[in-house]
């Protein structure tokens, strides 16, 4: 009995595994893409998990910046309490309550608050620049893999033409060898050339497949998906030929390249951190104020409750 159950379990597992593999292969076969270079970039932007994490970091940095600005505002808190006690007698009922509002603010902290706000602002901007930096590097990577895939495809087509001609030459050489118009050595040379062309074609196919695989990985695409690249329009290639001069390109890179912007920002953040460290040696001045009142029984609720309001205000330095 146990043997039969084990056999059935193994059979069921095999069927489920086969079904899952078949389902996965079917899903992969249904994924077919015909993409231009621009569409490849858009696809990568929409499916890159790393880019999504960078976008989340942008939001976190923005929230941190807002929190840093809120640290400059006063902190307000309030409290209210009511109590009722009864000793057992009908007349021994007492009611008591208190209410209070307190506020506090840091007036001066050696410039630390201002510098923290400025630091948070720069870090929020840097989070956006890091996303631009990732986009910049991803575009370059996709462009490189896209061009490699196109060149590999062109080489594969060329090798197919070469192989067809080599096959035709081998067929003609075989006929000539049979009738004795060429030597055996010449026929063997044709066979060797055909075998070499077959090997070149196979290598070209492997290089093309590897180039497409690298592009799929850069796009965060399923490696089993079918990807066909759309060749760029000739008008686009003509527009790409209109490149700026070397000096203009260098200056534009220095002004707008994400790496350069981040390098400058890191220097500024280091300077601000130095100012924040110095602020720790300076005094901190804080101000506080509060209002409170209370009542002891039902009769105190009303004018007496208002009359018992107390106020306090103070300034401290540490």
Q: What's the confidence (pLDDT) of residue 155?
A: 94
Q: What is the mean pLDDT of residues 291-318?
A: 69
Contact predicate 29/226, CB 8 Å: yes
pLDDT > 70: what percent of the chain? Answer: 79
More confident residue, 291 or 237: 291
230 and 263 co-located in one domain? yes
pLDDT tops 60 at residue 290: yes
Give the 3-state secondary structure percentages of the chain, helix then strand then coil, rounded to 5.
65, 15, 15
Does a structural domain hold residue 151? yes
83, part of any domain: no
pLDDT tier at 3, thresholds 50, 70, 90: very low
At 30-47, the pLDDT tens digits run 689 999 999 999 999 999
Cβ atoms 127, 107 nearer than 8 A: no
pLDDT band at 246 (very low <50, low <70, confident <90, very high): confident
What CATH number does residue 230 fall under? 1.20.1600.10
Question: Does the pLDDT of residue 14 top 50, yes or no?
Answer: no
Distance of alpha carbon 24 from alpha carbon 115, whole angstroms: 55
Residues 117 and 237 in one domain: yes
Is residue 120 located within the same domain as residue 243? yes
Confidence at residue 30, expressed as pLDDT on a 0 to 100 scale? 63
The reply to whether 147 falls in a domain is yes
Q: Are 97 and 82 in contact (CB under 8 A)?
A: yes
The answer to whether residue 253 sits within a structural domain is yes
What pLDDT shows up at residue 305? 55
Tell me if residue 92 falls in helix, strand or coil.
coil
- Domain assignment present for 259: yes
Put simply, whether the predicted model's pTM sits higher than 0.85 gets the answer no
Specify whether 8 is located in the same domain as 148: no
Tell me, yes or no, whether 65 lies in a domain.
no
236, pLDDT greater than 70: no
Mean of per-residue pLDDT scores for the chain? 82
Find all residues with CB under 8 Å of 92, minimum gap 6, and list them: 86
Number of domains in the chain: 2
pLDDT of 300 > 60? The answer is no
Cβ-contact 292, 308 below 8 angstroms: no
Please tell me the least confidently modeled range out of 54-63, 176-185, 221-230, 309-318: 309-318
138 and 270 together in one domain: yes
Element (H, E) at 73: none
Ramachandran region, residue 88 (left: φ > 0; alpha: ψ -120 to 50; beta: rest) = left
Listed residues 241, 259, 274: the one ending a domain: 274
Tokens found for residue 54: 């960078």
In which region does residue 302 sit, left (phi positive, over 0), alpha (psi from -120 to 50) or beta (all else)? left
Q: What is the mean pLDDT of residues 282-302?
A: 73
pLDDT, tens only, 145-158 = 999 999 999 999 99
The DSSP code for 232 is P
**Mean pLDDT of all residues in 6-13:** 39
**Confidence tier at 257 by pLDDT (50, 70, 90):** confident
- Nearest residue to 74 via CA among 34, 37, 38, 103: 103
pLDDT at 78: 83
Query: What does the longest C-alpha to C-alpha distance in the chain come to?
Result: 137
Residue 218 within any structural domain of the chain: yes
Q: Which of 6-15, 71-80, 130-139, 142-151 has the lowest mean pLDDT?
A: 6-15
138 within 8 A of 44, measured Cβ to Cβ: yes
Q: Which domain holds residue 2?
A: 1-30
Higher pLDDT, residue 181 or 235:
181
In this prediction, residue 13 carries a pLDDT of: 36
For residues 222 and 250, state if they share a domain: yes
Mean pLDDT of 178-187: 89
Length of the chain: 318
Examine residue 180 and state whether it is found in any structural domain, yes or no.
yes
pLDDT band at residue 76 using 50, 70 and 90 as cut-offs: confident
pLDDT in tens, 190-234: 999 999 999 999 999 999 999 999 999 999 999 999 999 998 876
d(CA 33, CA 159): 25
């Amino acid at each position: 009995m146990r043997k039969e159950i084990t056999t059935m379990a193994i059979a069921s597992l095999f069927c489920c595994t086969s079904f899952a593999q078949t389902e996965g292969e079917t899903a992969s076969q249904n994924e077919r893409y015909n993409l231009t270079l621009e569409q490849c970039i858009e696809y990568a932007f929409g499916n890159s998990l790393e880019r999504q994490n960078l976008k989340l970091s942008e939001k976190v940095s923005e929230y941190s910046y807002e929190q840093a600005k809120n640290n400059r505002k006063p902190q307000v808190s309030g409290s209210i309490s009511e109590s009722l006690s009864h000793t057992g007698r009908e007349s021994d009922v007492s009611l008591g309550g208190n209410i209070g509002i307190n506020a506090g603010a840091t007036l001066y902290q050696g410039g630390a608050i201002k510098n923290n706000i400025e630091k948070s602002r720069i870090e929020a901007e840097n989070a956006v620049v890091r996303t631009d930096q990732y986009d910049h590097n991803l575009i370059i990577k996709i462009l490189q893999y896209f061009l490699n895939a196109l060149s590999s495809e062109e080489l594969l087509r060329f090798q197919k033409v070469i192989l067809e001609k080599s096959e035709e030459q081998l067929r003609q050489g075989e006929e000539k060898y049979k009738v004795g118009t060429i030597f055996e050595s010449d026929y063997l040379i044709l066979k060797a050339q055909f075998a070499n062309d077959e090997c070149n074609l196979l290598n070209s196919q492997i290089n093309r497949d590897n180039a497409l695989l690298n592009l799929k990985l850069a796009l965060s695409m399923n490696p089993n998906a079918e990807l066909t690249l759309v060749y760029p329009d000739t008008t686009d290639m003509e527009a790409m030929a209109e490149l700026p001069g070397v000096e203009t390109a260098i200056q534009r890179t220095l002004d707008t390249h994400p790496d350069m912007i981040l390098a400058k920002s890191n220097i500024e953040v280091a300077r601000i951190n130095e100012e924040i460290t110095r602020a720790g040696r300076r005094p901190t001045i804080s101000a506080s104020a509060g209002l409170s009142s209370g009542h002891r029984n039902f009769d105190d609720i009303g004018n007496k409750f208002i009359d018992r309001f107390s106020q306090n205000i103070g300034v401290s330095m540490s």
